[in-house]
């Protein structure tokens, strides 16, 4: 079995003292996003532009990572935001955060696209490139993003190698569980369990602060 | 045996949340999730967790031209009305985990429900009404399933020119209709599926649909006055009149 290295960042993960509490910042940001969606729902294009600016980096990031093509990523991202605009009135805050709403839609569409586009292309090559994580961090300039990345990296490090590998192959590689099982030479049921266990650990590692 | 199978399906929450299930298991899981609050909640939690990985994507920033393209297109994109109630009344309950459920996913779950109901309706010759009531008890009343519960709800199947098998769920009394496709091939780069309503000789553009598995899309309507519905493939953004019609059916 081949395990790919998962990007690990700079060791220091402590927050500078005197910085605003990360939980408050994240929750107020989430609340702002809800307001922006509600305003967008009534046709407020400025609010939508603000929503785009606050979310597009992460949304485009997911789509780009799965598709590994700027053209496809731009197309899918445009589809996603078109749907966000159209369906803004149907977003229900009680059912999940704005970011989860948009990102879930984006991941689903990116995966659908990668499965239809790269069906004929060797998926192994596709992921051999994407699995290295060598470009990690080169666009994350802000301190806040850097801290987020460190938290998530730390969370990922709490997973077992197989949990981590199965989860990232699914989320970033866009592979189905059967493809992951073949790649890791594990039974399908094991892959399914590892993905779920990995998400539970990651949820617990990151969720304490959310 | 049955217990084992149930455990197995509960274990699919993670793979489902990261879109790693194959089509057959996806359908089975969505049907299960629609009636299992535990799985529903776990999926909602995972859908909050997984996107946090995006900070490790190592992606370049989105191109500025994309921002411009998206924002300048807004004026031409009609917004959908709320599905039910007044959304403006809803204030954030961001950590209300019990209530967490993904609305977009619920629509997909609905499509599975629709498929299940249609099969059962054919097999038993029963009414959609009674079956819908049996199929959708737990997850709480939703306006989505109320379409199926309409006394005059009908499921109208149609095979498109490209071979795709789709259905329309229509209730004239509710003035609503839903387009459902189990496995809708991509309409092609720069293309979209477009839905149309027909009234006498007039054809009216209605809504757009992307390809994919377990696709569903509401009609804007009005449905009560429509005599038929159609599907075509048009350039992205939609067209004012149909060019490449894929199929139509009376309702």
What integer pLDDT is reported at residue A35 of this predicted model?
96
For residue B125, the model assigns a pLDDT of 42
Question: How many A×B Cβ pairs under 8 Å?
Answer: 252
Q: Could you report the per-residue pLDDT of A97-148, keeping only the tens digit for each?
A: 999 999 999 999 999 999 887 654 544 444 434 443 434 444 444 666 777 8
Q: Of A95, A103, A111, which has the smallest distance from its Cβ to B101's Cβ?
A: A95
Q: Which residue has the higher pLDDT, A87 or B222?
A: A87
Taking CB atoms and an 8 Å cutoff, what residues of chain B touch A210? 48, 95
* Higher-scoring residue by pLDDT: B10, B129: B10
Name the token pair of B123: 């097999």
- At residue A41, the pLDDT reads 96
pLDDT of residue A207: 77
Residue B111: band (very low, low, confident or very high) from pLDDT cuts 50, 70, 90: low
| In chain A, domain spans | 23-120, 122-210
Residues of A in contact with B20 (CB under 8 A): 170, 175-177, 180, 195
Q: Higher confidence at residue A151 or residue B149?
A: A151
Q: How far is A20 from chain B (nearest CA, A)?
A: 20
Given the candidates 1.10.8, 2.60.40, 2.30.30, 3.10.20, the CATH classification of the domain at B151-250 is: 2.60.40
pLDDT digit string (tens) for A42-66? Answer: 999 999 999 999 999 999 999 999 9
CB atoms within 10 A of CB A19: 11
Q: How much is the ipTM here?
A: 0.81
Distances (CA, A) of B22 to A40, A179, B101, B214: 35, 10, 22, 12
Give span(s): CATH 2.60.40, chain B: 151-250
- 3 state DSSP class of B178: strand
CATH architecture of A122-210: Orthogonal Bundle (1.10)
Residue B24, token pair as written in the block: 């057959």
Least confident of A79-88, B65-74, B140-149: B140-149
Q: Which two tokens stand for residue B75?
A: 């004026």
Looking at chain A, list the stretches that DSSP marks H as alpha helix, in order from N- to C-terminal side: 22-41, 45-67, 70-86, 98-117, 123-130, 143-157, 161-171, 177-184, 188-207
CB atoms within 10 A of CB B161: 12
Distance between CA A159 and CA A204 in Å, rounded? 11
| Residue A46 vs residue B215, higher pLDDT | A46
- What is the CATH number that goes with domain A23-120? 1.10.1740.10
For the cut 80, the answer to whether the pLDDT of residue B231 exceeds it is: yes
Give the global pTM: 0.58
User: What is the percent of chain A where pLDDT is above 70?
Assistant: 73
Q: Give tens-digit pLDDT for B7-44.
A: 678 899 999 999 999 998 999 999 999 899 999 999 99
Residues 36-95 of B with CB under 8 A from A: 44-63, 65-67, 69-71, 73-75, 77-83, 87-88, 90-95
Contact A112 B92 (CB under 8 A): no
Most confident of A50-64, B182-196, B212-226: A50-64
Nearest CA to CA, how far is A18 from chain B (Å)? 24
Which helix (H) or strand (E) segment holds residue B30: the answer is helix B23-33
Q: Over 80: is that where the pLDDT of B172 sits?
A: yes
Residue among B53, B37, B8 nearest A206 (CA): B53
Rounded Cα distance, A86 and A77, in Å: 14
Comparing CB atoms, the residue among B18, B61, B104 nearest residue A101 is: B104
Give just the sign of the alpha carbon dihedral A121, A122, A124, A126: negative
Residue with tokens 């599975």: B112
Contact A180 B87 (CB under 8 A): no
- Are residues B59 and A64, on separate chains, in Cβ contact within 8 Å? yes
Mean pLDDT over each residue of chain A, to the nearest integer: 81
Question: A30-34, A166-170, B84-88, B143-147: lowest mean pLDDT where?
Answer: B84-88
């Amino acid at each position: 079995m081949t395990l790919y290295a998962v990007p690990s960042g700079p060791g220091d993960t402590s927050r500078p003292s005197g910085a605003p509490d990360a939980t408050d910042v994240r929750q107020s940001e989430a609340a702002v996003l809800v307001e922006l969606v509600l305003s967008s729902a009534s046709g407020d294009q400025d609010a939508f532009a603000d929503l785009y600016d606050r979310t597009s980096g992460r949304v485009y990031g997911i789509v780009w990572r799965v598709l590994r093509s700027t053209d496809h990523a731009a197309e899918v991202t445009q589809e996603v935001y078109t749907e966000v605009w159209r369906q803004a009135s149907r977003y229900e805050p009680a059912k999940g955060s704005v970011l989860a709403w948009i990102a879930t839609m984006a991941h689903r569409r990116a995966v659908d696209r990668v499965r239809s586009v790269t069906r004929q292309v060797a998926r192994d090559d596709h992921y051999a490139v994407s699995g290295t994580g060598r470009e990690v961090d080169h666009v994350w300039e802000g301190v806040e993003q850097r801290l987020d990345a460190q938290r998530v990296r730390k969370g990922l490090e709490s997973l077992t190698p197989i949990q981590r590998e199965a989860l990232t192959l699914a989320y970033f590689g866009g592979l189905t569980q059967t493809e992951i099982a073949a790649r890791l030479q594990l039974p399908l049921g094991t892959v399914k369990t590892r993905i779920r266990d990995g998400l539970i650990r990651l949820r617990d590692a990151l969720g304490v602060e959310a | 045996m049955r217990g084992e199978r149930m455990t197995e399906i509960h274990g699919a929450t993670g793979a489902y949340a990261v879109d790693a299930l194959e089509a057959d298991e996806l359908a089975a899981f969505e049907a299960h999730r629609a009636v299992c609050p535990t799985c529903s909640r776990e999926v909602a939690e995972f859908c909050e967790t997984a996107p946090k990985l995006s900070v490790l994507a190592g992606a370049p920033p989105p191109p500025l031209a994309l921002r411009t393209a998206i924002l300048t297109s807004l004026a031409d994109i009609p917004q959908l009305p709320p599905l039910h109630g007044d959304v403006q009344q809803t204030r954030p309950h961001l950590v209300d985990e019990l209530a967490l459920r993904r609305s977009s996913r619920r629509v997909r779950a609905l499509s599975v429900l629709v498929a299940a109901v249609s099969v059962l309706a054919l097999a038993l010759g029963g009414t959609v009404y009674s079956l819908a009531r049996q199929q959708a008890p737990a997850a709480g009343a939703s306006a989505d399933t109320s379409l199926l519960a309409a006394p005059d709800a009908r499921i109208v199947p149609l095979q498109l020119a490209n071979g795709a098998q789709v259905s329309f769920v229509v209730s004239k009394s509710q003035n609503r209709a839903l387009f459902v496709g189990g496995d809708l091939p991509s309409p092609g780069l720069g293309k979209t599926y477009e839905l149309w309503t027909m009234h006498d000789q007039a054809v009216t553009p209605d809504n757009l649909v992307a390809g994919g598995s377990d696709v569903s899309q509401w009609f804007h309507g009005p449905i009560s006055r429509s005599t038929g519905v159609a599907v075509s493939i048009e350039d992205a953004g939609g067209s004012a009149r149909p060019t490449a019609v894929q199929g139509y059916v009376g309702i």
